[in-house]
């Protein structure tokens, strides 16, 4: 055995004979803290000893990075050193367990004590007595008086008085369904019935028979704004007479106009009437007044005069080609064939569109005096400030008489033809200025009996247009 091996064996035997040594003492707890003067850090131990720690070298500047949304819920962080990483939001964690139910509340009862108080008693032994509140003072009595000018005076018994507007000016009709009558000004026998069945729900404006005869109005003021802001607009409403088999022509007066513009005939079933709003209907505080077009013959007591109901009055945007521009006749050159023209033919009357390469025209023919051949269109008459001396001009040819009527009138301007093409000018009544009104041209029936005629009536109309004729139509 070598000397090295002998020494190892002896040491091993000695350790085995002596056994394991005792555990050493616990070490002292230390922490790293910043020095009070801010010049570095030191190791501070619980036994009061401190050891200054040297500061390491300053690290290199960090790399600048930017984060970009990828639009799919992820973001890319790209750094100036060319490295990048895509990160995503983590998934939602699972819902926690429901908490335990709270304890049951205490049951209570209320007992009337008969003296104006009540006792609230609960099972936990608590109770409280509550009393009714004290009556407030009586309010002041007030009355509302309509001044007839869109305002009303509110007068109270305490001597106070205030004048209030009945309706704020709006861009459309307020309560156009007549569910409330306050916004509508009523003249004479015109009224609002808030309970009668209307076209769509309860409530309707009502021209009683006496209002029809007197042409009393139901009116409201609307702030439409300028034509360039809102137009073109259509006044839309539904109307119905109050007696079976009855009809009545109705109308509306718009703005400062003095002549009612025809809406059409109301019958004993609800029907819609639509009227293009002319130049006079645009601006601030424009009054729209519904009424009868004229007093029927029955107003003299020889027959039944119908009343008329109105409902769902509104201003709507005009449909394409529904309304002519101010100063124009709708389809006055017949390039849209007979679109916009209402044709009336009776007896041996005929209205026929003639298609020609150089422009369409319309043939009117009546083979006896009892026959009718007419066409009714629409013209938007400007205000005098826009077009002074407004007139309707026809380019036409014929041998007999042709007539032009405005706004449903029973008479109009009559022209006798020379057989050659000529220009006819019909003056438009001044009171129609600013309105879109009906214009009827053609050959109305001359009589209803003795219908024989030696000469048939015939005209060809090539164009109808609006012109200024301040000399001929002052």
pLDDT band for position 420 (cuts 50, 70, 90): very high
- Compute the residue count for the chain: 474
What is the predicted pLDDT for the residue at 285?
85
Residues with Cβ < 8 Å from 186, sequence gap 6 or more?
192, 216, 218
In angstroms, the CA 254 to CA 265 distance is: 18
350 and 309, same structural domain? no
What is the predicted pLDDT for the residue at 134?
74
**In this model, does residue 64 exceed pLDDT 90?**
no
393 and 311, same structural domain? no
288 and 196, same structural domain? yes
464 compared with 16, residue with greater pLDDT: 464
What is the predicted pLDDT for the residue at 427?
94
202 and 284, same structural domain? yes
- CA angle, corner 378, sides to 375 and 381, nearest 5? 135
Q: Residue 40 falls within a domain, yes or no?
A: no
206 compared with 40, residue with greater pLDDT: 206
Q: Residue 224 falls within a domain, yes or no?
A: yes
301 and 207, same structural domain? yes
Q: Residue 91 falls within a domain, yes or no?
A: no
Q: pLDDT tens, 305-321?
A: 999 999 999 999 999 99
Q: Residue 311 falls within a domain, yes or no?
A: yes
392 and 308, same structural domain? no
Domain span holding position 277: 185-317
450 compared with 405, residue with greater pLDDT: 405
Question: Tokens in use for 213?
Answer: 């005869």
Q: Residue 310 falls within a domain, yes or no?
A: yes
Q: Residue 64 falls within a domain, yes or no?
A: no
What is the predicted pLDDT for the residue at 327?
93
pTM of the prediction?
0.62
Using an 8 Å Cβ cutoff, are 389 and 468 in contact?
yes
Highest mean pLDDT of the ranges 77-86, 107-116, 135-144 = 107-116
What is the predicted pLDDT for the residue at 320?
92
Q: Residue 113 falls within a domain, yes or no?
A: no
What is the predicted pLDDT for the residue at 14?
40
Domain count, the chain: 2
Residues with Cβ < 8 Å from 200, sequence gap 6 or more?
177, 238, 311, 312
189-203 burial: b if 16+ Cβ within 10 Å, else e = bbbbbbeeebbeeeb
- CA angle, corner 438, sides to 305 and 336, nearest 5? 135
Burial class (CB in 10 A: 0-12, 13-18, 19+), 404: buried
Instruction: Residue 13: count other Cβ atoms within 10 Å of its Cβ.
Output: 10
351 and 291, same structural domain? no
Using an 8 Å Cβ cutoff, are 238 and 204 in contact?
no
220 compared with 285, residue with greater pLDDT: 220
pLDDT > 70 in the chain, percent:
87
Q: pLDDT tens, 4-62?
A: 454 444 444 444 444 555 665 667 788 777 777 777 777 778 777 777 777 766 656 66
Q: pLDDT tens, 258-292?
A: 689 999 999 999 999 999 999 998 888 899 999 99
366 and 272, same structural domain? no
350 and 307, same structural domain? no
Which of 317, 333, 358 is the last residue in one of the domains? 317
**In this model, does residue 250 exceed pLDDT 80?**
yes
Question: Residue 407: which of 376, 374, 385 has the closest Cα?
Answer: 376
Q: Residue 54 falls within a domain, yes or no?
A: no
pLDDT band for position 168 (cuts 50, 70, 90): low
369-388 burial: b if 16+ Cβ within 10 Å, else e = bbbbbbbbbbbbbbbeeebe
Q: pLDDT tens, 334-383?
A: 999 999 999 999 999 999 999 989 999 999 999 988 999 999 999 999 99
207 and 305, same structural domain? yes
472 compared with 393, residue with greater pLDDT: 393
Which of 301, 317, 333 is the last residue in one of the domains? 317
75 compared with 433, residue with greater pLDDT: 433
Instruction: Residue 72: count other Cβ atoms within 10 Å of its Cβ.
Output: 8
Which of 300, 317, 334 is the last residue in one of the domains? 317
Q: pLDDT tens, 394-407?
A: 999 998 999 999 99
In angstroms, the CA 47 to CA 235 distance is: 99
208 and 297, same structural domain? yes
What is the predicted pLDDT for the residue at 58?
66
Q: Using alpha carbons, list the distances in angstroms from residue 117 to 114, 123, 133, 268.
A: 7, 20, 10, 63
pLDDT > 90 in the chain, percent:
48
Least confident of 63-72, 196-205, 342-351, 416-425: 63-72
What is the predicted pLDDT for the residue at 432?
92
What is the predicted pLDDT for the residue at 11?
43
**In this model, does residue 409 exceed pLDDT 90?**
no
Q: What is the mean pLDDT of the chain?
A: 85
In angstroms, the CA 26 to CA 168 distance is: 92
474 compared with 216, residue with greater pLDDT: 216
CATH number for 190: 2.60.120.260
What is the predicted pLDDT for the residue at 82?
73
**In this model, does residue 324 exceed pLDDT 70?**
yes
């Amino acid at each position: 055995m070598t000397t090295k091996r002998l020494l190892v064996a002896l040491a091993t035997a000695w350790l085995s004979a002596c056994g394991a040594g005792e555990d050493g003492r616990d070490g002292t707890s230390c922490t790293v803290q910043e020095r009070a003067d801010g010049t570095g850090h030191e190791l501070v131990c619980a036994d009061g000893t401190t050891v200054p720690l040297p500061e390491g070298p300053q690290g290199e500047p960090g790399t600048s990075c930017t984060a970009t949304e990828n639009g799919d819920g992820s973001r890319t962080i790209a750094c100036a050193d060319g490295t990048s990483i895509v990160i995503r939001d983590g998934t939602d964690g699972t819902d926690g367990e429901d908490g335990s139910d709270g304890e049951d509340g205490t049951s209570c009862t209320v007992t009337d004590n008969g003296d104006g108080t009540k006792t609230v008693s609960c099972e936990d032994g608590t109770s409280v007595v509550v009393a009714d509140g004290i009556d407030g003072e009586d309010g002041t009595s007030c009355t509302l008086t309509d001044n007839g000018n869109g305002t009303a005076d509110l007068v109270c018994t305490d001597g106070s008085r205030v004048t209030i507007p009945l309706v704020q000016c709006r861009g459309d009709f307020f309560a156009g369904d007549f569910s409330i009558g306050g916004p509508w000004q009523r003249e004479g026998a015109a009224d609002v019935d808030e309970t009668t069945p209307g076209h769509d729900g309860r409530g309707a404006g009502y021209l009683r028979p006496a209002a029809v005869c007197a042409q009393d109005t139901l009116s409201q003021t609307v702030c439409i704004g300028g034509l360039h802001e809102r137009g073109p607009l259509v006044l839309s409403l539904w109307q119905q007479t109050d007696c079976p088999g009855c009809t009545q022509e109705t109308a509306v007066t718009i703005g400062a106009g003095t002549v009612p513009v025809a809406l059409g005939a109301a019958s004993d079933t609800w029907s819609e009437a639509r009227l293009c709003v002319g130049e006079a209907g645009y601006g601030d505080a424009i009054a729209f007044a519904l009424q009868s077009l004229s007093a029927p013959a029955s107003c003299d007591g020889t027959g039944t005069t119908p009343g008329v109901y109105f409902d769902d009055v509104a201003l709507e945007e005009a449909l394409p080609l529904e309304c002519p521009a101010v100063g124009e006749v709708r389809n006055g050159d017949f390039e849209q064939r007979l679109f916009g023209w209402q044709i009336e033919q009776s007896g041996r009357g005929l209205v026929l569109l003639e298609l020609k390469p150089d422009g369409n025209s319309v043939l009117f023919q009546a083979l006896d005096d009892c026959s009718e051949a007419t066409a009714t269109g629409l013209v938007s008459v400007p205000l005098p400030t826009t077009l002074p001396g407004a007139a309707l001009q026809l380019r036409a040819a014929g041998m007999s008489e042709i007539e032009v009527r405005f706004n449903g009138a029973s008479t109009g301007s009559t022209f006798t033809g020379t057989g050659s093409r000529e220009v006819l000018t019909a003056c438009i009544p001044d009171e129609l200025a600013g309105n879109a009104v009906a214009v009827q041209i053609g050959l109305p029936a001359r009589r209803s009996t003795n219908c024989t005629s030696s000469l048939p009536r015939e005209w060809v109309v090539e164009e109808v247009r609006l012109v200024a004729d301040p000399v001929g139509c002052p």
